[in-house]
């Protein structure tokens, strides 16, 4: 009987020790899980903060760009409006000065081409003037050139050639083409004197 009781005591001790070890293992496992959970939670929070910061930076950059675009678009609109006003003013000016003065302006532009054209044979198309006035203009501005053809544009041709007032010239060999038109003169004035014209029409400080 004494041996049986000793065996039972030994078994109870073994079971008790086993339970202690099991409880210890479970306790360690719970601690590890809690630590992993805390680490994962902190990691998620870090990632969330990083994403929120990234989106905040992108939103701020978008807002800055949007604010910058608005003034630029206003400047572009102002420039377009000023250009349109200058072009209307130039068109009105050349219309008011009359045919004689317009021909003088066209002659001055033609004279710039004289060294290039020299004694070459030329074909001329014109619009807005009678043929005799154009011949006189050519004789004055290009005295050495040989006129092979002088033909008026019809209205549709003049529109396509952007020659509502003036003439176009092409050498017989096709190596040189030039224009002496009010459109060309207006374009040159806008290129060279845009700021001065804009200030004269719209006041100092205007963007042009």
pLDDT number for residue 37: 63
- Look at residue 4 and tell me whether its pLDDT is greater than 50: no
> What phi, psi does 147 have (nearest 5°)?
-80, 115
**Higher-scoring residue by pLDDT: 71, 172:** 172
- Look at residue 139 and tell me whether its pLDDT is greater than 80: yes
CB 190 within 8 A of CB 88: no
Residues 6+ apart with CB under 8 A from 85: 201, 202
Residue 101: both structure tokens together: 């003065």
Residues 6+ apart with CB under 8 A from 153: 125, 126, 127, 161, 163
What's the rounded Cα separation, in Å, for the pair 124 and 167? 7
Fold annotation for 99-198: hypothetical protein PF0899 fold (3.30.2320)
- % of the chain at pLDDT higher than 90: 38
What would the mean pLDDT of 171-193 be, rounded to a whole number? 88
Q: Which of 80-84, 126-130, 147-151 is predicted with the least confidence, judged by mean pLDDT?
A: 80-84
- Look at residue 166 and tell me whether its pLDDT is greater than 60: yes
pLDDT number for residue 94: 87
Residue 46's pLDDT band (boundaries 50, 70, 90)?
low
pLDDT number for residue 158: 92
**Higher-scoring residue by pLDDT: 69, 121:** 121
- Look at residue 50 and tell me whether its pLDDT is greater than 60: yes
What's the rounded Cα separation, in Å, for the pair 177 and 71? 42
- Look at residue 206 and tell me whether its pLDDT is greater than 60: no
Q: Helix 182-202 vs helix 2-96: angle between axes, to the nearest 10 degrees?
A: 110
**Higher-scoring residue by pLDDT: 60, 157:** 157
pTM: 0.57
Among 64-78, 94-108, 191-205, top mean pLDDT goes to 94-108
Please report, for residues 76, 184, 185, 202, the alpha-carbon distance to residue 189 in angstroms, rounded to integers and kept in the order given: 20, 9, 6, 17
pLDDT number for residue 168: 95
Q: What is the mean pLDDT of the chain?
A: 79
> Sheet of 166-171: strands edge to edge?
146-152, 121-127, 166-171, 177-181
> Residue 142, class by beta-carbon neighbours within 10 Å (0-12 exposed, 13-18 middle, 19+ buried)?
buried
Q: What residues does each domain of the chain span? A: 1-96, 99-198
**Higher-scoring residue by pLDDT: 128, 51:** 128
Q: Which of 76-80, 117-121, 166-170, 174-178 is predicted with the least confidence, judged by mean pLDDT?
A: 76-80
């Amino acid at each position: 009987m004494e041996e049986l009781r000793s065996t039972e005591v030994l078994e109870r001790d073994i079971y008790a020790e086993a339970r202690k070890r099991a409880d210890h293992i479970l306790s360690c496992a719970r601690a590890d899980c809690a630590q992993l959970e805390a680490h994962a939670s902190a990691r998620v929070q870090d990632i969330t903060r990083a994403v929120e910061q990234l989106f905040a930076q992108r939103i701020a950059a978008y807002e800055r760009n949007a604010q910058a675009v608005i003034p630029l678009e206003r400047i572009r609109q102002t420039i377009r409006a000023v250009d349109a006003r200058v072009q209307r003013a130039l068109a009105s000016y050349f219309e008011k000065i009359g045919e004689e003065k317009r021909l003088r302006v066209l002659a001055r532009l033609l004279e710039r081409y004289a060294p290039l054209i020299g004694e070459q044979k030329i074909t001329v198309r014109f619009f807005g003037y009678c043929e005799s006035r154009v011949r006189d203009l050519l004789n004055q501005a290009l005295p050495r050139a040989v006129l092979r053809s002088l033909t008026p544009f019809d209205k549709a041709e003049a529109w396509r050639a952007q020659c509502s007032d003036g003439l176009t010239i092409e050498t017989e060999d096709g190596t040189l083409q030039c224009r002496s038109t009010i459109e060309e003169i207006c374009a040159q004035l806008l290129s060279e004197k845009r700021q001065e014209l804009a200030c004269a029409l719209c006041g100092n400080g205007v963007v042009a």
